[in-house]
Amino acid sequence: MADPTAPVPPDARPGPGVLDARAAALDAADPLRERRAAFVLDDTVYLDGNSLGALPRAVPVRLAEVVAREWGELRIRSWTESGWWTAPERVGDRIAPLVGSGPGRVVVGDSTSVNLFKALVGAVRTVPDDRDEILVDAATFPTDGYIAASAARLTGRTLRPVPAAGIAAAAGPRTAVALVNHVDYRTGTLHDLPGITAAVHAAGAPVVWDLCHSAGALPVELDAHGVDFAVGCTYKYLNGGPGAPAFLALRADRLAAFDSPLPGWNSHADPFAMAAHHTPATGAARGRVGTPDILSLLALDAALDVWDGVDIGAVRTKSLALTDFFLDCVAAELPPGTVESVTPADHARRGSQIALRHPDAATVMDRLIAAGVVGDFRPPDVLRFGFTPLYTSFADTLRAARTLRRVVGETASA
């Protein structure tokens, strides 16, 4: 008997019911399927978790407790009695295993942009002045480019944009630091973290990785590959909520020498001494600046409960299965040539999203959302679908492809 979970050969178009049976079989065999119940979901097919993750059920309960009890009753005492003061490092330790780091090396707070600035300038401060170039992924998320350009001006360096695949070859004696996105936000292309890191190190420079589109979606293994600095947001695959604080991860041997360009009272070795001169704290606390955003930070802490007992390898396996299945469904449901995938077919080069090119992508996405399938649009012509393995099902995936077929047809005939 044929395996209903097996991929469809490239030139084969399955008959009626085959995709339904395959989706049902894949969902039944999914070891993560019970995690879906931990989220607040409705009948919408939500494929935009790579922009904002769904709400974990534990968060509203926890926030109500924080507001009513910790803020409302304990008030200022909660900084010590409720553990608010140590929350940036405590929550960082919960994120650490999801990105392959160790305890005491990840701090949560501020935005990705602010943490990126800290990491870039801190990295440049560790190299000689004759290393005068900052390499940056030419297709980077715009803010990363803006921050890198500002860091270059402030440190007297030159910004050199290079395609991510060319950074390894471009790194040399003039490289002060390289900034690379682990996953391209438009196409979902997964870049070679081990190879690029090794090449930049061989050139004598540190590297900063932006993990916004990989943290919580696939194994990152910062320590295994000796990554110097990494930053990432927590409101995508980590489901921390809108504007949730970001994280900064430092390699163990980078902590003691990290010279943050934003030394605040929260990163002081003795914050309440109110000293005129800054003495950096030890450990990950060196990456702090000002007073932590406690409500968002503790919402993130509660959101991370969904990861308890989850194997990030299983998340990656399901992510690839979901994206493979979506591509198969699109190929089966839509006429050839209707859309073009710009996401690599190669698993080693794919994140947890599929980006499809269509000439009227903006209109198509608007109509998809109105029809109950939520992805997003990236100019000029990209339909972007993020697959979050903790709550996306294979049935969702098939429904999305079938809705896409209908909407594309309606758009063409309008």
Q: Which of 39, 46, 117, 141 is catalytic?
A: 141
- Res 2 pLDDT > 50: no
Per residue, the 3-state secondary structure of the chain, as one string, reads: CCCCCCCCCCCCCCCCCHHHHHHHHHHHCCCCHHHHHHEECCCCEECECCCCCCEECHHHHHHHHHHHHHHHHHHHHHHHHCCCCCHHHHHHHHHHHHCCCCCCCEEECCCHHHHHHHHHHHHHCCCCCCCCEEEEECCCCHHHHHHHHHHHHHHCCEEEEECHHHHHHHCCCCEEEEEEECECCCCCEECCHHHHHHHHHHCCCCEEEECCCCCCCCCCCCCCCCCCEEEECCCCCCCCCCCCCCEEEECHHHCCCCCCCCCCHHHECCHHHCCCCCCECCHHHHHCCCCCCHHHHHHHHHHHHHHCCCCHHHHHHHHHHHHHHHHHHHHHHCCCCCCEECCCCCHHHECCEEEEECCCHHHHHHHHHHCCEECEEECCCEEEEECCCCCCCHHHHHHHHHHHHHHHHHHHHC
Q: Report residue 1's pLDDT band, with 50, 70 and 90 as the boundaries.
A: very low
Active-site residue, 384 included: yes
Closest CA to 378 of 25, 141, 133: 141
Q: What would the pLDDT profile of 356-373 be if each residue is shown by its tens digit?
A: 999 999 999 999 999 999
Are residues 297 and 88 in contact, defined by beta-carbon separation less than 8 angstroms? yes
Q: How confident is the model at residue 10 (pLDDT cuts 50, 70, 90)?
A: very low
Instruction: Supply the pLDDT for residue 388.
Output: 98
The one catalytic residue among 35, 36, 160, 236:
236
Q: Quick one: CATH architecture of 18-30+311-413?
A: Alpha-Beta Complex (3.90)
110-121 confidence digits (pLDDT tens): 999 999 999 999
Joined tokens for residue 245: 């604080």
CA separation, residue 219 to residues 5, 106, 182, 346 (Å): 24, 16, 11, 16
Backbone CA torsion sign across 382, 383, 384, 389: negative
- Report pLDDT digits (tens) over 25-66: 999 999 999 999 999 999 999 999 999 999 999 999 999 999
Q: Where exactly are the structural domains of the chain? A: 18-30+311-413, 60-307
Whether residue 210 lies in the annotated active site: yes
* 268 DSSP β-pair partners: 280
The length of the chain in residues reads 414
Average pLDDT over residues 330-351: 97
Tokens of 38: 């931990």
Would you tell me which CATH number, out of the four given (3.10.290.10, 3.40.630.10, 3.40.50.2300, 3.40.640.10), belongs to the domain 60-307? 3.40.640.10
Residue 6: count other Cβ atoms within 10 Å of its Cβ. 9
Which residue in the list 254, 384, 399, 402 is annotated as catalytic? Answer: 384
272 catalytic? Reply is no
What are 174-185's pLDDT values in tens digits? 999 999 999 999
Q: pLDDT tens digit string along 254-282?
A: 999 999 999 999 999 999 999 999 999 99
> What percent of the chain lies above the pLDDT cut of 70?
96
Q: Assess whether 118 carries a catalytic annotation.
A: no
Q: Is 236 a catalytic residue?
A: yes
* Whole-prediction pTM: 0.95
Q: What are 258's two structure tokens?
A: 């990290």
Question: Which residue out of 48, 132, 137, 210 is catalytically annotated?
Answer: 210
Active-site annotation holder among 235, 237, 325, 394: 235
